[in-house]
């Protein structure tokens, strides 16, 4: 499928520089592009490739100042990254069968379920009792939707997703394959004989509008009440969200992060991969946490960056790391200093003895 520079510029509301009839049929990294490729540059460190690329069309920022002539047709937009992402979204809608409709067989839908208009339910999907599936929802093959679940308009539930009873999904929610929503929280009471008694988990999970959840992520139901994922949250693959956690609006969390029970994360936070959080803490709005950090206490001040385990303020942690790297050298210097002090002490003792004589 081919697109001209003029068509692309119109779609993303960009300003053309070059041949409006230039055509592209695929997308590529700018350093690997060939004739017929569409690329973008948002990071200045890739600008050098702009002057040698064989790409036919490149999306760039309005603010980019050319240092050399370029052979590609340029499309200037306010934010090249966002413009390119929007373009990929439209392209994906075309190639991914986004217009699927209807109910495939074999699948099972309880007679008490309510199914809206323009819904797609794939083969081998299960839809339980009193489920509400609103207009435009897509449930792909092999998904499980438990009793009394609500899935609002234009949400997508990909193959192999399991949504337990009573959970609530907002509009335009996307849940990728293998994720489990509403599994039991990890609640066990220790007994006097050393065994554990399971605490029933009777709550649910609420996922608000425009949330996207990656592959094989698990979000546990609350012990009581709800585990809540607020609107606009983006969760990567392989994340564990425990019972009664609340994640604030527009927070993004990278893969392999684990959030313990009843932790409350604020709005617009950015959390790197493999971060671990203890339970029952509060993370302030706008907090940024570097990958592999361990959060052992609440973060009260908003808009700070944390690093390390246990995590503390980013710049201080970098200074500490620099000192840590220099510890072997500092140890040698300290040993030499001790030797010097011992020698001076011995010399002073000899001088004192001679003085007394």
Instruction: Summarize pLDDT for 60-116 with one digit per residue, the tens.
Output: 999 999 999 999 999 999 999 999 998 888 777 766 655 788 999 999 999 999 999
Whether 323 shows a pLDDT value over 90: the answer reads no
Question: Is residue 104 classed exposed, middle or buried when 0-12, 13-18 and 19+ CB atoms within 10 A define those classes?
Answer: middle
Residues 237 and 309 in one domain: yes
For the segment 347-356, the average pLDDT, to the nearest whole number, is 74
**Interior CA angle at 310 toward 306 and 312, to 5°?**
30
Cα 3 from Cα 22, distance rounded (Å): 8
The label of the residue with tokens 């309880």 reads 110
- Residue 243: active-site member: yes
Within this chain, do residues 343 and 244 fall inside the same structural domain, yes or no? no
- Cβ atoms of 5 and 39 closer than 8 Å: no
- The total of structural domains in the chain comes to 3
Q: Is the bond into 106 cis (omega within 30 degrees of 0)?
A: yes
Residues 308 and 342 in one domain: no
Res 90: pLDDT: 79
Compute the C-alpha angle 262/207/311, nearest 5°: 40
- Compute the mean pLDDT over every residue in the chain, rounded to the nearest whole number: 92
Same domain, yes or no: 308 and 355:
no
Residue 46 has pLDDT above 60, yes or no: yes
**261-312 pLDDT, tens per residue?**
999 999 999 999 999 999 999 999 999 999 999 999 999 999 999 998 777 6
Q: Which of 21, 243, 280, 282 is catalytic?
A: 243
Q: How many whole angstroms separate alpha carbon 286 and alpha carbon 272?
A: 13
Q: Tell me, yes or no, whether 173 and 230 share the same domain.
A: yes
If asked whether residues 288 and 185 sit together in one domain, one would say yes
Per-residue confidence (pLDDT) for residue 348, from 0 to 100: 82
pLDDT tens-digit series, residues 122-150: 999 999 999 999 999 999 999 999 999 99
Q: Which residues pair with 247 in a beta bridge?
A: 229, 265
Token representation of residue 114 = 């309510």
Beta bridge partners of 74: 17, 58
Q: What 8-state DSSP symbol labels residue 245?
A: -
Domain shared by 287 and 207, yes or no: yes
User: Does residue 35 share a domain with residue 71?
Assistant: yes
The Cα–Cα gap between 249 and 237 comes to 19
List the CATH number of the domain containing 297: 2.160.10.10
What is residue 314's predicted lDDT score, i.e. its pLDDT?
62
Contacts 24+ apart (CB under 8 A), 148-154: 152/209, 153/116
């Amino acid at each position: 499928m081919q697109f001209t520079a003029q068509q692309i510029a119109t779609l993303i509301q960009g300003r053309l520089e070059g041949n409006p009839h230039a055509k592209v049929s695929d997308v590529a990294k700018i350093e690997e592009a060939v004739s017929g490729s569409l690329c973008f540059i948002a990071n200045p460190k890739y600008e050098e490739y702009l002057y040698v690329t064989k790409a036919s069309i490149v999306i760039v920022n309005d603010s980019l100042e050319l240092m050399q002539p370029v052979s590609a047709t340029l499309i200037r937009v306010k934010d090249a990254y966002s413009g390119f992402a929007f373009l990929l979204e439209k392209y994906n809608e075309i190639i991914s069968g986004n217009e699927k409709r209807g109910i495939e067989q074999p699948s099972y839908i309880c007679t008490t379920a309510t199914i809206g208009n323009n819904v797609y339910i794939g083969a081998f999907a299960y839809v339980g009792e009193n489920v509400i599936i609103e207009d435009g929802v897509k449930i792909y093959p092999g998904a499980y939707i438990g009793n009394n679940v609500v899935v609002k308009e234009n949400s997508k539930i990909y193959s192999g997703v399991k949504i337990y009873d009573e959970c609530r999904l907002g509009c335009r929610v996307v849940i990728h394959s293998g994720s489990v929503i509403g599994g039991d929280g990890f609640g066990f009471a220790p007994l006097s004989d050393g065994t554990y008694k399971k605490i029933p988990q009777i709550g649910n999970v609420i996922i608000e509008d425009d949330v996207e959840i990656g592959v094989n992520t698990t979000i546990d139901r609350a012990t009581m009440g709800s585990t809540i994922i607020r609107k606009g949250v983006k969760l990567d693959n392989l994340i564990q969200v425990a019972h009664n956690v609340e994640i604030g609006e527009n927070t993004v969390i990278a893969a392999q992060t684990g959030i313990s029970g009843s932790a409350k994360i604020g709005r617009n936070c950015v959390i790197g991969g493999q971060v671990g959080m203890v339970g029952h803490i509060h993370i302030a709005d706008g907090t940024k946490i570097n990958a592999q950090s361990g959060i052992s206490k609440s973060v009260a001040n908003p808009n700070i960056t944390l690093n390390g385990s246990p995590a503390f303020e980013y710049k201080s942690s970098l200074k500490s790391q620099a000192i840590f790297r220099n510890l072997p050298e500092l140890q040698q210097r300290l040993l030499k200093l001790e030797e010097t002090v011992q020698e001076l002490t011995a010399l002073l003792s000899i001088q004192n003895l001679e003085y007394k004589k």
